[in-house]
Amino acid sequence: MNSQPSDKKYRAVGQLPHSESGQPSDQHREAPHPSDAPRGGSSSDAVCLLPTRWADFSLHGYADPSTGLEHVALTLGDFSDGAPVLLRLHSECLTGDTLFSLRCDCGPQLEASLRAIAAEGRGALVYLRQEGRGIGLINKIRAYALQDTGADTVDANRMLGFADDARDYRFAAHIVQTLGIHKARLLTNNPLKVRALEAQGIEVVERIPLHVGANPLNRRYLNTKAHRMGHLQD
């Protein structure tokens, strides 16, 4: 398959239906039960139920023996029928996901992905502990300090001696496969994620653009990702 799926496979994620209270509507929420873990091949190191504002997910924990990093996957629904699964690979961003930073679009992308999965009633989000595009939290803060003096996100990484993007998606692909997912509809603007999954034998039948969270403070960052890192803006 080509590194970038054809245009006919693209569609954007917009605002998704939810109740006024922020809770998912009854048609998207099911009563939690231990058997709610996805059927189709899960072999995580630990699993529990995780109620959220949007749906009651199953939370799976995984330890990567090659790095010592611990990752999680949130899943909803049954994957055993082999149909393509709505999927998001999301790398950890403490500042955006937890501290509501306006320097990036990570927090809004995380929320939009979970809402999209809940609205569909079936899907998975793999949350990868690859802070700062793989350079770690302290180095990310150092990179931010360089950006405060005028460097863009790519040059800041290079000034610190790091690659533009140091993330590795091989263990993410392993997680996806253990969940029984072999065909995916991937929520991403990053063609690298498409190529990484397909290199491990996972077919990406659709790339779904995820354009949320743009603001005046992260506009330069988003433009840099598009023009210097190959992220797609469609």
Judge whether 185 counts as a catalytic residue. Answer: no
pLDDT of 234 reads 79
**Average pLDDT of the chain?**
87
Q: Which of 56, 165, 185, 207 is catalytic?
A: 165
Q: Which residues contact 18 (CB under 8 A, 6 or more apart)?
A: 24, 25, 53, 54, 115, 119
Burial class (CB in 10 A: 0-12, 13-18, 19+), 216: exposed
Q: What angle do CA 53, 10, 167 make, to 5 degrees?
A: 70
Low-confidence ranges of the chain (pLDDT < 50): 1-42
pLDDT of 15 reads 39
Q: Which of 167, 195, 219, 228 is catalytic?
A: 167
CB 42 within 8 Å of CB 180: yes
pLDDT in tens, 28-40: 444 344 344 444 4
Q: How far apart, in whole angstroms, are the C-alpha atoms of residue 164 and residue 54?
A: 34
Judge whether 165 counts as a catalytic residue. Answer: yes
What's this model's pTM, rounded to 2 decimal places? 0.83
**Count of alpha carbons within 13 Å of 136, Cβ hemisphere only?**
6
pLDDT of 43 reads 61
